[in-house]
Chains A and B, each alone.
Chain A
Amino acid sequence: MALLEVRDLHTAFTTPAGTVNAVNGVSFNLERGKVLGIVGESGSGKSVTAYSIMQILEKNGKIVSGSVKIDGQELVGAGEKVMKTVRGNKISIIFQDPMTSLNPTYTVGHQLTEAILLHTNRNKKQAYDRAVEMLRLVNINEPHKRMKQYPYEFSGGMRQRIMIAMALACEPDILIADEPTTALDVTIQAQILELMKSLQEELGMAIIMITHDLGVVAQMCDEVIVMYAGSICEQGTADEIFYNPRHEYTKGLMHSIPTVNNDDEKLEPISGTPIDLLNMPKGCPFAPRCDAAMKICLRERCQRMEINEDHAAACWMNVKEQMEQEEGGEEA
């Protein structure tokens, strides 16, 4: 049994302009000790997927249907009481912006021990010791002194370390990292990613890494999910996604980023602009921007299709290819 099982998750937001279906039928499994990357552009539903798992959606957002199971325990519809025992203990989250996710009016020590007291049975003294231990774990020097300081006395990279320390203090099975390094400089980003990787190996937890940066994915992730307009267009192991992309959107993404090998070539951008979630087309959501779009792409959405045991994609091109192969096989 997988640690986390998400099945056919639908999340919608009610807005004055209409209902926005931010997540449309997302399914995946996360095994213990693995790093799963979720990539996509703004509005692709990658963060909403994570917030739905944690059930920390804004007031106007709601899980419409689907199932989220952790260790076999169903979370959708389980109620706030159950979720309080899950958050922090089983799943923790770190957010993009380390500048605003700490409370500026409390010391870092207060905020760390508060989280530990809330989620474990430790007393104040034990919680303090645990907090100091966690600061040490994320390589913050002089932890006893640092416990008494306020967030403004820390740099951006250090604040993100504190967020990581807080998220890991109760030894969760899953850490969700929502664009954890986007607000940081490259050398600090390298420090934080290195730290997350080593902690993940040490503590054996699973990580869901949400990012738009394919470089971060290549460095960190075992498995990758590519999202577009609220649905998964492709999922598989990192090597499969990078070296054998089988969805036109993933291919487009790979061609549109500068790498070390293509600097003399022109980039091949994806034409058009990201989709308006209020006016979703009937067929494949990527079809209006897709150069290879066929008639069927505009009419009907392609179902997920297994490419091999490590790889699945939802693109009619694969169906077409398969049919051509079969025809070719019959003739021969």
Chain B
Amino acid sequence: MSNMENLVEVKNLKEYFNITTGMFQSKPLKAVDDVSFAIRKGETLGLVGESGCGKTTVGRTILHLYKPTAGEIWFKGKKIETKADIMEYRKKSAMVFQDPYSSLNPRMTVSDIIGEPLDIHKMYADKAERQEKILELMNRVGLNSEHASRYAHEFSGGQRQRIGIARALATSPEFVVCDEPVSALDVSIQAQVINMFDELQDQMDLTYLFIAHDLLVVRHISDRIAVMYLGKMVELADAKEIYDHPLHPYSKSLMSAVPVPDPKIARANQRVVLTGDIPSPLNAPSGCPFRTRCPYACDACAEAMPELKEVSPGHFVACHRVAEIN
């Protein structure tokens, strides 16, 4: 049973990597630990958190680029299980990567990079149709058709990211995972790409999972935002709600740490500066992973991980003391 309004649903997703710790010893690194959420059709869900919190792993596992250790992924009300499911699902989903310098094959021409997904899924009848599709995609992302026979190194960062986006859109997907798609770009180019994501979403009826660490960018593009910390999801709510009224102590400090480009606001901002660093995910604390840095931690926090509970309509928080501290 699944809600049809949700395009993608993730249930109790776990992704552990085995890390060698000694000659014959290994230890699971719990990159994603029991995460459940749903992405509604046509929305943009922002996923934020610091490095090592598992946001990229969520993005990759959700597309079955990593085999989930445990848990289920549902797409359009259907559970993705068999190889055939995965192949079909991959046609309907795509990914835009962070680094436009290393995610494009330097030996392939732009038209071959964009055409590769079409080749894999055999989505054209003849060569002319393939070429036509490629040129249409290039046109859509604002690339000149003269560029089709050039190589990636001939382009600037912003243009390379456009090539990556055209490739992602080649199979006309419904769901796109964007993993830090603008963080490698200069500020003036960032805005061009962000606007393009917005326009493409309207034109092609896309659903995004937008992973980024720049909170102002995420807030701008997302309908809802999820916050992760050490492999767990700690808060999920509407973009403005979570930015203006974060409830989890970690989200509070995260939101207040954002440098706002406005001197008057920045001077008046009362920051909640956290002490200490993120613990290693190999030795994650028991119970709530945030308790070692949390100013409100109590004994209960060390015992059990709080569940992600709906505290007000559409606002989910995983904190034992959420009622007391707000």
Contacts and interface: CB of A to CB of B under 8 A. Distances in A.
B50 to A, nearest CB: 4
Contact of A218 (B51, B158, B260): B260
Interface in B234-264: 239-240, 243, 253-254, 256-264
A269 B192 contact: yes
B158 A273 contact: yes
Give the size range of A's interface with the partner. 35 or more
B257 A189 contact: yes
Contacts of A214: 187, 261
Given A157-B277, A187-B253, A256-B191, A215 B186 contact: no
Nearest to A261: B262
A286 to B, nearest CB: 10
A186 B262 CA distance: 17
A255 B195 CA distance: 13
Contacts of B254: 186-187
B217 interface: yes
Interface string A173-212: 0000000000001111111011000000000000000001
Interface residues of B, number: 45
Given A219-B266, A274-B188, A266 B195 contact: yes
Given A187-B257, A268-B191, A274-B186, A259 B262 contact: yes
Nearest to B269: A219
Given A155-B277, A188-B50, A215-B261, 19 more contacts: A41-B188, A158-B277, A185-B51, A185-B213, A185-B278, A186-B50, A186-B257, A186-B258, A187-B50, A187-B274, A189-B259, A215-B258, A218-B260, A242-B262, A243-B263, A257-B261, A258-B217, A260-B216, A273-B189
Ranked 10 nearest A-B pairs via Cβ: A215-B259, A269-B191, A258-B220, A256-B191, A190-B257, A270-B188, A185-B50, A214-B261, A269-B192, A267-B191
Interface of A: 41-42, 155, 157-158, 185-191, 193-194, 212-219, 238-239, 242-243, 252-260, 262-263, 266-271, 273-274, 289
Interface of B: 50-51, 156, 158-159, 186-192, 194-195, 198, 213, 215-217, 219-220, 239-240, 243, 253-254, 256-267, 269, 271, 273-275, 277-278
